Amino acid sequence: MPRKLAAGNWKMNGLRANVKELATLAQRHSDASVDILICVPTTLITTCQDTLFDIGGQDCHTAESGAHTGDISAQMLSDAGATYVITGHSERRADHGETDQIVAAKSAAAYAAGLTAVICVGETLDERGSGTTLDIIDGQLAGSIPGGATSDNTVIAYEPVWAIGTGKVPTLEQIAEVHAHIRAQLQARFSDGTDMRILYGGSVKGSNAADIFGVPHVDGALVGGASLKADDFSPIISALEKS
Ligand code: PEP
């Protein structure tokens, strides 16, 4: 069984004053039996370096360095203290036109810098409505995971676009179907696909976490809004520990 992972994505939220939330979390989960990752804005990575938890970035450039004003390389994230980076989040796919090819290149850059990539996939509401969810997921998995992926350097996050930040959550059957499908795809392509962690993401809260973590092949969660406050994230971590 892969070791479970509770991952927070602070998105474009968080000033230095908010880092105290991590100290509160650390008091409550100092002996956690699951991995805990917080993907903070790049500006906070160094500030968070002393936390008990793994710290991640939310994006990286495909190149190691160069003339790319405003961008951050995977090597820079690592140098600042990050050990993970999210790649291919649907907000970046939508806001910045990131294709599967770009996501794969970013993930490969993460591996080269020694980071673990949390590669996000997920269908839109229209795609779910038209019955093409599994085809969309297949295409994203095939296109976004680069060669060289292993269970050590890669985590997959299944995040239905329509569930992110909306309070809408797929049924447990829908989550089970997609996670089992992703597991089968990973096993077919990678020798250690059984051990690659598959997170569910999209409106996870303390109130629905236990049910979601009971679904086969859900190895944890990628949590946006409910990761910002220790009081909201802590019950999710506890539910994962009990699952
Ligand atoms: C996310 O941003 O990855 C996410 C899942 O957000 P939320 O938990 O707020 O839906």
Calculate mean pLDDT across residues 138-153.
97
- Per-residue pLDDT, 8: 98
19-60 residue pLDDT tens: 999 999 999 999 999 999 999 999 999 999 889 999 999 999
- What ligand 1 atom has the least distance to the C-alpha of 91? 2
User: Which residue matches tokens 């990286």?
Assistant: 60
Ligand 1 contacts (CB < 6 A) are 9, 11, 159, 164-165, 201-204, 222-226
Q: Which mutation among 204, 227, 229, 236 tests ligand 1's pocket best, with the greatest number of atoms within 8 A of CB?
A: 204
Query: With contact defined as beta carbons under 8 Å apart, do 128 and 91 qualify?
Result: no
Backbone CA torsion sign across 211, 213, 218, 222: positive
Query: Is residue 135 over pLDDT 90?
Result: yes
Active site residues: 89, 159
DSSP state of 202: S
- Per-residue pLDDT, 93: 97
Domain ranges of the chain: 5-242
- Per-residue pLDDT, 49: 87
Enclosing H/E stretch for 8: strand 5-9
Of all protein residues, the one whose alpha carbon is nearest to atom 7 of ligand 1 is: 224
Query: With contact defined as beta carbons under 8 Å apart, do 219 and 2 qualify?
Result: yes
198-242 residue pLDDT tens: 999 999 999 999 999 999 999 999 999 999 999 999 999 999 999
Of 14, 95, 90, nearest to 48 by C-alpha is 14
Q: Which CATH superfamily groups domain 5-242?
A: Aldolase class I (3.20.20.70)
What gap in Å lies between CA 106 and CA 139, rounded to an integer? Answer: 17
Classify residue 40 as left (phi > 0), alpha (psi -120 to 50) or beta: beta
Can you read off the two tokens belonging to residue 241? 């520990």
